[in-house]
Amino acid sequence: MNNKKGLLKSLLPWLILLAGLSIMIPFLNQGNSHEIKYNEFVKVVQDEKVQSVKITPSSLVIDVDGVYTKKVDGQKKEVSFSTTIPKTDSELDSLINLLDEKNVQITMIDQNDRGIFMEIVMTLLPYVLIIGAMFFLVRMMSNGAGGNAKAFEFGNSRAKLEKNSKTRFSDVAGMDEEKEEVKELVDFLKTPKKFSDMGAKIPRGVLLVGPPGTGKTLLARAVAGEANVPFYSISGSEFVEMFVGVGAGRVRDMFKKAKQTAPCIIFIDEIDAVGRQRGTGMGGGHDEREQTLNQLLVEMDGFSGNEGIIVLAATNRADVLDPALLRPGRFDRQIQVANPDKAARAKILAVHARNKKFTPDVNFENIAQRTPGFSGAELSNVLNEAALLAVRQNHDLITMADIDEAVDRVMGGPAKKSRKYTEKERRLVAYHEAGHAVIGLTLEDANKVQKVTIVPRGQAGGYNLMTPKEETYFQTKSQLKATIAGFMGGRVAEEIFFGDVSSGAHNDIEQATRIARMMVTELGMSELGPIQYDSENGQVFLGRDYTQRSNTHSGQIAYEIDVQVRKLIDECYNQAKEIIEENRDKLSCIAEALLEYETLAGEDIESLFNTGKMLEHHNGTIDETKTEEPVETEKKESLDDADDLLDEMK
């Protein structure tokens, strides 16, 4: 009923326009012709201004239409006219004689030849065309929103309904704790009586908080799939329009539809688009976004209960959400969906590798070690890029080299092999990157080297992937200092081997300075003591990310902070210099291998550092995979021989 009323209101302007056109059409049909009196017509004919006429005898009168010339602003202009005379033989004969006398072209038209049908068609045709055009316009605009909403029904929900979702918890890897939290929702949706008998109330809403790409939407879809209930999904930005009251109307309509299909799940992605803290916008408390938020608050926990409806929402900015949205009764539970750790990354890779073929040396544990901080979406992208690279290289299987290149493409973009360096620049970059690698291999608390390349990517002339030996949630002072020393390794290598330094260490110095300043001003890891000197708190209205840090300390303290930062940098620099001086030969070996191969994996670097030789790698063909069987047999025989030798020694 409401939809019909809305459609009628939207069609009302068109109906008014149609009525106006119907009034104007008779006048438009006359064109430029104007009615003149018969005596005026006779005078015009006598002045020899008429060129041609059409005479149409009807039942009572005779219609005369024609064209005559008239001077307008000194120029002759043709003007159409029409007139009528009584239908008598004498009047008709007199008219024809006059026209013959003045050599006017006469065309006689029989009224019966025009046909009644054509008269009706010509009269109704403009109306039919207008109605048809209006109907076509309405249909096109109604289907413009993808079939989920009509253009005239602004207040209708844009939520997409998905039934019989195929996603299950088995498709969600690396989130064991998160899945345990949401399994209660599945149990409630399947057997709500079990909870009601115990007097327990299931959370009205669950907020999934985490960085982009961590699988928040996938987890929500898996809940709907496991519970086998309708799943409504919508983005927070789809509520807000330029028209006042549209967002609130869409919220009401969404919950109204959800009630009809309860039990069900409503998933609001990027809820921070509509759920930001009230009173911080330019429109005070009456802008459209806040009205939409108020309606959402009422629907989630208002006077009218929405039993059987569970609201899941996702955001990566929980700090900007309104407190009323986060209180118990609305979003009762918050689930942190963080980036996966090493074990979780290996499980995620295994899920995304189900339909892909790999060489035997591909180890997901190794890949997980090389991708710290990667989200689930980025890991999926890595394997997809590796598959594309394997096809591009005409490989039968995805190799470890393909995966390494895919990781580099995701992190730094495609390699710019067309960029040509001079031989001096190539050697400088090779020794620079080898300096980083040596620090990582020798310093206990330094990050482990996973890959080194001198192929340019993005703005970097070389690339050095270093990851922590073990993923920890905290970092000690010694680990942070080792990280700074690792950043200084490249600059130190340039100074020792070339007696000069380059601008290639710009990013290294920036990162090292950032860590050192953080140690002094935020972590209390200096002689100034455990005092925090810098604060990053900002106003929501201005945007926390754009506010300046509020430094409340004096100029003397600022000087002492700079002294401590310099002291840390100098200490780490000298440590890196000492290590590289002790391992000059090994660094040269790694650098020369980089000049030859351009890219070295972590295993290759360790082998060069320890033995001075490179490792052998799989080339990605099936034939090579088959030839590896006798090698395994030989290994088994060698092991048996070793056992026999031990027995003889005993």
Active-site annotation, residues = 433
CA torsion 468→469→472→478, rounded to 10°? -80
Q: What is the C-alpha to C-alpha distance for residues 103 and 81, in angstroms, rounded to an integer?
A: 18
Backbone angles phi, psi at 65, to 5 degrees: -120, 145
Q: CB burial class (10 A; 0-12, 13-18, 19+) of residue 340?
A: buried
Q: What tokens does 626 get? A: 């088959």
Helix (H/G/I), strand (E/B), else coil: 159: coil
Identity of residue 195 = F
One-letter amino acid for residue 605 of the chain: I
CA distance 367 to 501: 34
- Distance CA(255)–CA(98), nearest Å, equals 83
Compute the distance between CA of residue 309 and CA of residue 262 in angstroms, rounded to an integer: 6
Strands (E), 159-308: 160-162, 205-209, 231-235, 264-269
Tell me which residue of 383, 430, 425, 376 sits closest to 405, measured CA to CA.
Answer: 383
Give residue for tokens 């949630």: 473
Query: Where do the H-state alpha helices sit in 32-109?
Result: 38-46, 89-101
Residue in the structure block whose two tokens are 């955001």: 315
Tokens of residue 496, six digits:
């020792």
Q: Report yes or no: 160 and 233 within 8 Å, Cβ to Cβ.
A: yes
- What are the backbone angles phi and psi of residue 358, rounded to the nearest 5°? -125, 160
133: left (phi over 0), alpha (psi -120 to 50) or beta: alpha
DSSP state of 420: P
